[in-house]
Structure 1
Amino acid sequence: MVRLPLTPAEVERGRRLGALLRGARGDRPLVATALDAGVSPETLRKIESGRVATPAFSTVAAVARVLGLSLDALWTELHTPAAPSDVRQPVEGASDRLVS
């Protein structure tokens, strides 16, 4: 079976998923989270870093369950266009404020 290369959108969605899971994990140890979810720590590390852009649904569901995340909320977040929150634009009198 030949796997087609990922599209840029799939790669970006994988990065966003990783960031969401990493943020939800907070200070909880990666190893404990992975073992509680039944996945290897290396798999979780790769997902969080965006190196696995399309993890198996069962893996995402298991990690989300351990972290108390709703799959509906994850889906919504991943399929909402990324906000340009990383783009800072100078605004007169408010140089530290984000503009969208």
Structure 2
Amino acid sequence: MVRLPLTPEEVERGQRLGALLRRARGERSMLDTALDAGVSPETLRKIESGRVATPAFPTVAAIADVVGLSLDAVWAEINQPARSAQLAS
């Protein structure tokens, strides 16, 4: 299966998601957070750095639960209007 390239908006959403999860994790170690969420530390690192712009929903839900974020908060953060669109206004 060939995966289509991500749009700039998808990349930006992934970066916002990663930043949100990283902030919510706070001082908690990446290893502990990943293990508690049932994902590999490498997966969490890639999501937090924005390298995985479209992680699977169950992965996001598990990490959000561990760091104390509601899915509503995650949804609101990642669906903000694109910054590039705001700058053009």
SS of match in other structure, 1:66: helix
Structure of larger gyration radius:
1
- Larger relative helix fraction: 2
Give CA-to-partner distance per residue, 1:47-97, whole Å, 9 cap, x none: 00000000000000000010110001110111112569xx9xxxxxxxxxx
Question: Conserved in 1, the CA contact under 8 Å of 2:12 and 2:82?
Answer: no
Q: Percent identical across equivalent pairs?
A: 76
Matched residue type, 1:74: V
What is the RMSD computed on CA atoms of the aligned residues?
A: 1.6
CA distance in 2, matches of 1:57, 1:81: 21
Q: Does 1:22 align with 2:22?
A: yes
Structure 2's unaligned 5+ residue stretches are none
Task: Read off the aligned partner of 1:18 and give its amino acid letter.
Answer: G
Letter in 2 for 1:37: A
Structure 1 stretches of at least 4 aligned residues deviating more than 4 Å after TM superposition: none
